[in-house]
Amino acid sequence: MADPSIQTFCCHKPHFGNPSVLLMSEFDSTPYNSVCLVSSLLGCFGAVYQMLPRTEKSLSRRWFSLTSQRGRQIVVWLALADFLASLGVFMRSVMKLHGPMTLAWENRSVVFCSIVAAWIEYFYMVTWLWTLLYALDTWLAFQQRQGYPKLYHTVAWSIPAFLTTAGLMLLYFPDADCHDYGLTNPDVTVVRLLPNYIIMYTVIATAMVLAPCFYIASARCIDSLVSSCLGQVTNKERSIIQTVRLRFALIVFVFAICWIPNIINGIVIWSSWGDLPVSFLLGLWYCMAVLNPLQAFFNSIVYRRSNTKINLKFNIKPVDESSPLLPSNINT
């Protein structure tokens, strides 16, 4: 699970009977971490499968390619970030199952917990941006415009680094007593906890809103692109067009189903801060424990091309990321 709620649990144990203690105890429980362990393993396997080298089967008539060399590279970077994020969830679950890291809330446990939390937040934020950049690059491809791989990497790796650092520094420094401020100075609690929620949910919401817009714009380009190049649209082309549109819809659906529970969780927490619905939140957290790491597994399905096969000989030619997503002659 990747959520700001979990990161606050790395703080020192709150005093005076703070209600968040009950939620913390469930976060350290065996059932919860067992669910995280299984889902993160599936996520790691899905990401590794997606990163395996592939060769493209020859087609007699290949009038366009949605994920050619350039698109394939974006998918590989997305899978790498997915793998590292799922790996972080896996490591956290293993440590808690063999000895809860925050059971004693010692400084050493707090430091280790915060490092793992930062790892998970950073790489999941990278996956959200690569998901958005893939949608953007797809739209550029259907516009027959060149992509910007260097800009993509700058955005996908540097922006999450800055946002993660800023959000967690406000949360953990100058000390890790981020819960107890709510009892003496609620304004300080808001200043320390709210920014990290805003940062994470803004990135999720941006990808969730903009990616479908780019896919809708891409889908509208398909008919005119095929008609202009072939002069007609046969039943075969119509079938491929529908397949591409279905693929766009599945990508959007997978991203939404994996991360909508997180947004609901944030809304519930900040709308009922003084009286948290513990049972409802725990149900949401189990949903997130399943769905967040499974993003990598689902991505290995929805981003996969049917005309490729795994090649374990590792003799793939170097890929030029500047090559266009659509070939210059889409009739070949």
More confidently predicted of 38 and 272: 38
229 confidence band (pLDDT: 50, 70, 90): low
Mean pLDDT, residues 273-302: 89
Q: What is the CA radius of gyration of the chain?
A: 22
106 has pLDDT over 70: no
What is the average pLDDT score of the chain? 79
* The token pair that represents 52 in the structure block: 């395996």
Specify the pLDDT at position 98. 81
- The DSSP output letter for 64 is -
Q: How many CB atoms lie within 10 A of CB 59?
A: 10
Per residue in 108-145, pLDDT (tens digit) is 777 788 888 899 999 999 999 999 999 999 999 888 78
Q: What is the pLDDT of residue 264?
A: 93
Average pLDDT over residues 102-107: 51
Contact in structure between 150 and 188 (CB atoms under 8 Å): no
Quote the tokens at residue 256. Answer: 């939404």
Residue 143: count other Cβ atoms within 10 Å of its Cβ: 14
329 has a pLDDT exceeding 90 = no
Q: What is the mean pLDDT of residues 219-248?
A: 74
Q: Which segments within 209-314 are labelled E, that is strand?
A: 308-310
Q: Label residue 316 by pLDDT band (50, 70, 90).
A: very low
pLDDT band at 90 (very low <50, low <70, confident <90, very high): very high
d(CA 220, CA 228): 14
Report CA-CA distances (Å) from 255 to 38, 156, 248, 251.
20, 17, 11, 6
Q: Is the peptide bond before 174 cis (omega within 30 degrees of 0)?
A: yes
Sign of the alpha-carbon dihedral angle for 268, 266, 88, 45: positive
Q: Is 70 helix (H, G, I), strand (E, B) or coil?
A: helix
Q: Which residue has the higher pLDDT, 216 or 223?
A: 216
Q: Which has the minimum average pLDDT: 14-28, 81-95, 206-220, 306-320?
A: 306-320
Distance CA 26, CA 31 (A): 9
The answer to whether 12 and 105 are in contact (CB under 8 A) is: yes
Rounded mean pLDDT of 181-191? 59
Q: In this predicted structure, what is the pLDDT of residue 78?
A: 97
- Can you give the pLDDT at residue 305? 72
Retrieve residue 123's tokens.
């790489």
pLDDT > 90? residue 301: yes
Question: Over 80: is that where the pLDDT of 22 sits?
Answer: no
User: Does position 73 have pLDDT exceeding 50, yes or no?
Assistant: yes
Nearest Cα residue to 51 out of 84, 77, 88, 70: 77
Question: What values do phi and psi take at 54, rounded to 5?
Answer: -135, 150
pLDDT at site 215: 94
pLDDT of residue 319: 47
Which whole number is the average pLDDT over 20-45?
A: 85
What percent of the chain is predicted at pLDDT more than 90?
40
DSSP reduced 3-state for 179: coil
* Tokens read off for 210: 């903009």
